[in-house]
Structures are given as C-alpha cells and as structure tokens.
Structure 1
Amino acid sequence: MSTSSISRRSLLLGALSLAACAPGGTAAPTPSRLAAPSVTSSSPKGEITIWNRSGDLFKVFDAAIGKFRAAYPDVKVNHLSVDIGAKLANTLITGTDVPDGSFWDDANIGSQAEHLYDLTDLIAPYREQTAPYKLSVNTVEGRIYGVPWDLDPGLLWYREDLLAEASIDPASLTTYDDLLVASQKLKERDPKARPIHLDKNPFLGQLWLEMLANQQGTSMTDAQGRLRLDSEEYRRIFTWIQKAAKDKLVTHTPYLEPADLASIENGQQAFIPWAIWWSFAPQQLLKQTKGKWRPMPLPAWTPGGARSGVMGGSSFIIPAKAKNPQLAWLLYEFLCFKEPGIAAVYGPNSVYPGGLSTSIPSYLPALDPEKPLFKDDMGLWKVATEAARNIPPAAPIPAWWAKSVDYLGNNLQLLIEGKLSPDDVIAESSKKIQRNLIDRS
C-alpha cells in the first residue's frame, strides 16, 4: 500500500472517529448566541484563524478557502493544520489562543457545547434543507452548536461480477435475510467464499453496529441518556450477526489491512456493508478487482424499513471565545450552504482530480441525483444521495461513547467469534456501561 494510501486511510479513520458520539444528559450549556453578521455580505473585513486536520482533507479545504478569499478579498484567513484530537478540547476549556473556527468530529461537539457559540439562529434559514441526522448530532437541548458539513450514508458494496456469475440480482437484496440467502448461494459455488465483511477492529465494529441501529431509528442511548441495548432492534442485529458467523458466511478481518485487502481481491468477500467512504478502496487500493465493485442501498432490517444509516461524520464549530466569530460563520456558510463553496470542496481539485467522493454534503439542495459533484464511474452519487434522504434522525449519544468500546465493541468481536450469545452481549455490555460509564458520569 502506498504512503498516500495509508495517509488517506488514516485520515478517513480520524475524520469519522467517534462519529457516533454526540452527548446526552449533560447540563444545559450557556454560551452566547451568535447573531447574523452585522456587516453586509459584500463588505466584510478582518482576519480569522481556522483549524483543520492535516492530510489530504486539509489540502482540499485549503483550495476551497481560496475560493472564499476570492469572494471576500478583505477577509484574511489563516488556515492552519492542527492535531485537533489532541489540542482542540483543551484549548476550548482553557480559552487561550482559541481559533475562530475548527473542523471537528460530530462526536465531540455536544460534549463541549458550553464552550461553543450557539448557532441556532444562523442555521435556521437552512434547517429545513439540512439532513435531519446532521442537525440532531449537532443539537444539545434544542440548540445547535455545530455547522453541519458532511454526511456518510451506509451502503452495501458488492462484487458485480460474482453476483452475475451466481445469477443473483442485486435488486433482490432488500432485507438482511436476503443477504444471507445470497451469501449462502455464493458459498455453495465456492466453498472458500466468506462473502460478508465483518470488521475485526472493536472501534470500527461498534461504529458499524451503530449504523445498523440508526437504520432502525435507535441508538445506544435515548434522548435522556438512558441505555437501550436491551431492545428488539439490537437483538435483531446481534442475532443476524450470530447466524452469519455460525453459517461461515463472514470474513472477519481488520478494515483495509493486508489480510482484508487480500480476501477482497481473491473473491472471498463479495459484500461490504459499510459507509460511503469505503469508495476509497476500489478507487485507490484495489488493483485486481478495480472496476468490479458497485454500491447499492443497505438491506432493510424489516420489509419496507430504512435502507441506510450513518457511519461517520464531521462538522465545524465556532468557539465562544473566538475573536471574529461572525467572519468564521461567513466562511462556514460559504463552504456548507453556498453552491460555490460546496462545489469547491467536493468538485475536482488538485488533490482529487475526480473530486471528493468519500462523503456527500449534508445540505440537501446539493444532492441532485442528476448532478454529481464528483466524477462518478460506479453510480455512487445517485445511490448515496438517495440513501441520504432516508437516514433516520439520531437521538443524542453520550460523551462516553468511545469508552464503551471496551465493553460493547469488544463483546461484539466475541459474538462474531462465537464466544458470546446475543443475550450475553446485551447483558454484559449493559451492565458494565451502566456501572463504569453512566453511573460515574
């Protein structure tokens, strides 16, 4: 794997990390509300400092910010590459040398809401045109604290040639039970086949699990922060995983590491139920099977149920102690809600000549199925934009979500390995999360 591939993969993992973690049950934050800029859009002046992650995505945003500079020549933007995961939270708490705005995982925004500007009034004109899920993960007690950026819908990636050889019509895969039937058929043709990818990384496995729960309109906790793993929805997922593993229909490998890539290339895997950002694999990493992978909507858990959920995502925040918050808002409004800014981020650029295709905008008017923002030779844009419109909104998710991987994420792995039953996973995970995380928070 090339250095650039590793860098991009690491970036994706960072950009989505903790994406299932907006908090619930926290005390009501009391930052100031940010009012609409008092200057006219044609005459803003000043200087802002904007933090972003390093890597490919920084370069993409740097080019897009160049478009903003051209539109607002009197606004100086200092765009800095920062280790946001290590630095931003502490900076917000101390209030020293805070940026005017920053990229951040959706996961973290709610837990730091007291240190952020309340953007509810500024988001209001765009609220009805923004994916409900993105609004929900940026909302704490009815107020919005992040500017929604990307949307990472879950899709089912499949090997078109393998399904054709087995006379499996992708359109017939409407439920997860259908997926098991198709996988069994592929295995009968090739005993070495283990068609369905289940991830061996506990964190990514739990993130994937929450995507499947989101499909069913639920999540680890409810709006009041109460644990709800012991539910029909989670039991349905765990039972399906248990059956798939017992029937030897599963390839259990870590995400895009050498063993995973090898089993993808040799035809052992045929189905990857994952987020849109798996597109990086067929576009950049896979050599032997490049051009053979296609996306489609996830199967539904029940007939007529939702065909997508969210797995990942990031937004932008404006610290309550920013020096020029209104100019930061002007930048983020340009990037997230204005056509030139959205096109600059997702369209062709020097980093990705075909455009950024590992997520889509959360601003629904940008999701015209007939007008892809990036080069699309897999039918990805149309499938992803349709999936995005069917994602259920989320309940607030606790700030301790990442710590729960020690319990739920690890137990999920034991379920796949046949060492725990669905009831065991629910009981053990619920007990430890309640005792070690909820009761102590």
Structure 2
Amino acid sequence: YLKMLPDFLQKHPGKSVDIQIVAGEAVTSRLQAAFWSNLDVPDLVEVEISWAGSFFRGRLESIGFRDLTERIHKTGLWERIVQARFAPYTTRGRIFGIPHDVHPVMLAYRRDLIEQLRIDVDAIRTWDEFVEIGRRVTVPGKRFMMELPPAGVSSFEVMLFQRDGGYFDPQGNCTLDNEIAIATMKYYVPLVAGRYRIGNDLGGGQIFTRALEDGYYLFMVAPDWRTKVIEQDVPKVGGRMALMPLPAFTPGGRRTSTWGGTMIGITKRCADPDLAWELIMHLYLNKDALAEQFRNTNILPPARDLWDHPAYDEPRPFWSNQPLGRLYANLAPQTPPQYTSPYIGLAKAKLSEALIACVDYYNRYGERGFDGFVRQQMARAAGEVRRQMRRNPYLHENA
C-alpha cells in the first residue's frame, strides 16, 4: 500500500494517509470496544474474514461500519467483483465491506514424486478417484496422499464450501446440521481416521517444511496466498511443485473452493466517506499496482477486469513454469460464497468440537453407527449456536 500512496496523495494535495498494521485479534477487540464507546476510530479498517461477522451484532443502524450497498451497485462494483466474495461481509441483505481478494483453492503437489508414482493428475476428475489413488499410494508413517488435519477445520471448510455448504445460509440461519454438512463430515473423517486414511497433519513451520521436502505429503490444499507461503518456507522444492484444480464431488461439478479473505470497510466516524471510498478504489482496483502486488504475494485481486494483465500469464519456475495467475483466475468465478453471522466464531468452535469427536469415534468403531453419531454431533453443534443466537433480540435466525 505504501508504494501506491504517492499517486493518490498527488491527486489530493493537503491530504495525508496514515497506515498502521495491527494484530488481527487486537483490531477486533479494540475496534469493537471503540465502536460501542463512541471513541475515535480509523476512517478505513481491514478485517480478516473470520472476524468480520462479529461486527454485525445488533441492529443494522448500530453497526460501526457504513452500509456500502448503494455505492457498490451505483459504481458497478457489484458486476466487476466476484459476487460470492461479498457474502462474508453482508448481513440482512446489506453489504458493509469490499473484498480484498478471492482466494480460490487448488491442490499443490510434488510433481516429481507424482510422476514417479505414475499418477496422471489430468485424469483425476472427482474426489472419489483421488481417494482411490490415495489409498493405493499412502504408506502410514512414511507417506500420505494429502495434508489433511484431523482436528483443525481449515480443509474441512474447503470441502464444505465446495459442496455449497457452510456455517450459515444467506438469511443467517445456522446450517451445521443440514444434509450437506453431515455428508461432508461423513466423507472427510475417513480420510483422516481409521485404517484407510490418506491424510495427516504434522503442523506448520519447520515441521511442514521438512514434511514437504521429504515427500511426507504428496498433495495439499492451496489457496492462492498459500502458494507464496510454500515458496518462502520450502524453497528446496522449487521447480518440483505444480498445481491442479480441486477434484469435484460429482462429475462436472465445481473444481475449486475458498480459504481465507479480508474486507475493507469505512467506519461511521469517517468525516469524508467519499474520499475514503476513492482511496479504497485506488488500493483495491489499480490494475498495474495490483499486478505488481500479485507478483509479490500471489494473491488474485477480486475484480475480473484486472485479470487480463500480463502478470497473470507469466510462467512461474517454482511451479514447474505453470502460469499461476491464470490457473487461479480461471477458477475464481466458481468460488463459492461464505455466508457469515455475528456467531461465526462460535460456529467454527462447535464444528471443530464435532470434528474431533467424529474422528475419535471413527478411530474406535469405524463405520458401525457412524452415521447416527455424526448426525448427533452436528445437531448438537448447530443447537448450541442457535441457542446463543436466540438470545440476541436484534438478530433472530429469520431476520
């Protein structure tokens, strides 16, 4: 952003822009407290997707961010940006944030090892086909088909969103116990538990680096931002990595999902919302600057009309000379929505508890009684979320 400011300030003499980096959790707690106490707050704030919903508690008029719905439609932004990306920053039909990204998901894999195993990734169309190969090549304790956490929900969410599931529906109703969520849990758990599991997770940092270098994982979930993490953390595998679309759950189905995200919003205390909007457009829709930013971060910007820049077609040596940007851009329009709620944090915690319980059950008993146990756990998770939601007089499930 600092590199992009001089052009903006040149157009607005006498104005200044102060950019501060603050830890995400601090932004959430401090900003919410400031909103409630009517204290000074920044004119613009970026909020991570997992925390955005927490700002939408209470009446619409009590939300500390400005309602941007009309601006988005009047300026044509609704048509330019991948529309699913507005969903996490929307409550009761009103949009309070502009998406910074799309974060489509692919699978990253060790191309050299996959070729040695004579696996044709182009022939893998569905998750069932992928899992069948995985059970053939997985060697427990030595090599797993895929990095999949048995406790964390990150990869589970990817599959849930891919199937058009989620924590909430567009009206804010909790959907953790619907048939899509139940089917996803029943599909995911045998991948990370039991005798025929194909996935494992050792953690991040140096352990992940060593695991990828040693071929402990063959495939891993890779939103665009994570490809840069891999480049930085595991440079030794450069030139031996490649990307492929996610397998679909049904033939011809969606081949991507989403993981992560950030919004920018204008606070109600902002004295000049028009100027703030102009700064957002400069930071989020500047084609040349964002192309250079993409080269440095691998993060695809949210507006479709930015993707025709040559930067997105450049071959990347680390990724076996694949055009990383074009691969993600081709999938981005299929990115599924993530519907949110002020209770998204609670819902994530309850899903994590359900996943851990289901993994433990499957390790003990396998398929025997598994369907009923999954339904029980998902109903319990959804029930606890709904109980908390009913306590909010301003945000009922049918709001």
TM-score (norm 2): 0.83
Shift of the alpha carbon at 1:366? 1.2
Q: Identify if the C-alpha distance between structure 1 residues 130 and 355 changes in structure 2 by more than 3 Å, giving closer, same or farther.
A: same
**Aligned partners of 2:144, 2:382: CA distance in 1, in Å?**
32
Partner of 1:392: 336
Shift of the alpha carbon at 1:419? 4.6
Partner of 2:200: 251
Instruction: Select 2:155's aligned residue among 188, 203, 208.
Output: 208
**Contact kept in structure 2, 1:227 and 1:430, CA below 8 Å:** no
Per-residue CA deviation, residues 49-107 of structure 1 (Å, 9 max, x unaligned), is xxxxxxxxxxxx22222342244444311222334234222222222111111111234
**Contact kept in structure 1, 2:53 and 2:344, CA below 8 Å:** no
Partner of 1:95: 38
**Contact kept in structure 2, 1:158 and 1:293, CA below 8 Å:** yes
Instruction: Select 1:183's aligned residue among 119, 126, 134.
Output: 134
Q: Identify if the C-alpha distance between structure 1 residues 343 and 71 changes in structure 2 by more than 3 Å, giving closer, same or farther.
A: farther
**Aligned partners of 2:229, 2:213: CA distance in 1, in Å?**
11
In structure 2, what residue type is equivalent to 1:229? L
Off by >6 Å, runs of 4+ in structure 1: none
In structure 2, what residue type is equivalent to 1:361? P
Partner of 2:266: 318
Partner of 2:2: 62
Matches within 5 A, 1:30-45: none
**Contact kept in structure 2, 1:369 and 1:381, CA below 8 Å:** no
Structure 2 unaligned runs (5+)?
57-62, 365-369, 393-399
**How many residue pairs get matched?**
367
Partner of 1:146: 97
- Comparing 131-140 with 415-424, greater Cα deviation is found at 415-424
Structure 1 unaligned runs (5+)?
1-60, 348-353
Partner of 1:410: 353
Matches within 5 A, 1:32-431: 61-83=1-23, 84-113=27-56, 114-124=63-73, 125-187=76-138, 192-199=142-149, 202=151, 205-245=152-192, 246=194, 247-254=196-203, 256-343=204-291, 346-347=293-294, 354-357=295-298, 359-368=299-308, 371-372=311-312, 376-377=316-317, 378=319, 379=322, 380-394=324-338, 396-417=339-360, 418-419=362-363, 421=370, 423-431=372-380
**Aligned partners of 2:208, 2:358: CA distance in 1, in Å?**
19
Give SS of 2:20's match.
strand
**Contact kept in structure 2, 1:215 and 1:309, CA below 8 Å:** yes
Identity between Structure 1 and Structure 2 (%): 22
Shift of the alpha carbon at 1:144? 1.7
Aligned Cα RMSD in Å?
Answer: 2.6
Per-residue CA deviation, residues 192-239 of structure 1 (Å, 9 max, x unaligned), is 321211125x5xx32432222221222122223333233332233223
Partner of 2:397: none
TM-score (norm 1): 0.76
**Contact kept in structure 2, 1:109 and 1:317, CA below 8 Å:** no
**Contact kept in structure 1, 2:291 and 2:312, CA below 8 Å:** no
Shift of the alpha carbon at 1:169? 1.0
Give SS of 1:272's match.
strand
Shift of the alpha carbon at 1:330? 0.8
Shift of the alpha carbon at 1:321? 1.5
**Aligned partners of 1:103, 1:238: CA distance in 2, in Å?**
32
Q: Identify if the C-alpha distance between structure 1 residues 126 and 265 changes in structure 2 by more than 3 Å, giving closer, same or farther.
A: same
**Aligned partners of 1:185, 1:320: CA distance in 2, in Å?**
57
In structure 2, what residue type is equivalent to 1:116? F
Give SS of 1:181's match.
helix
Shift of the alpha carbon at 1:175? 1.0
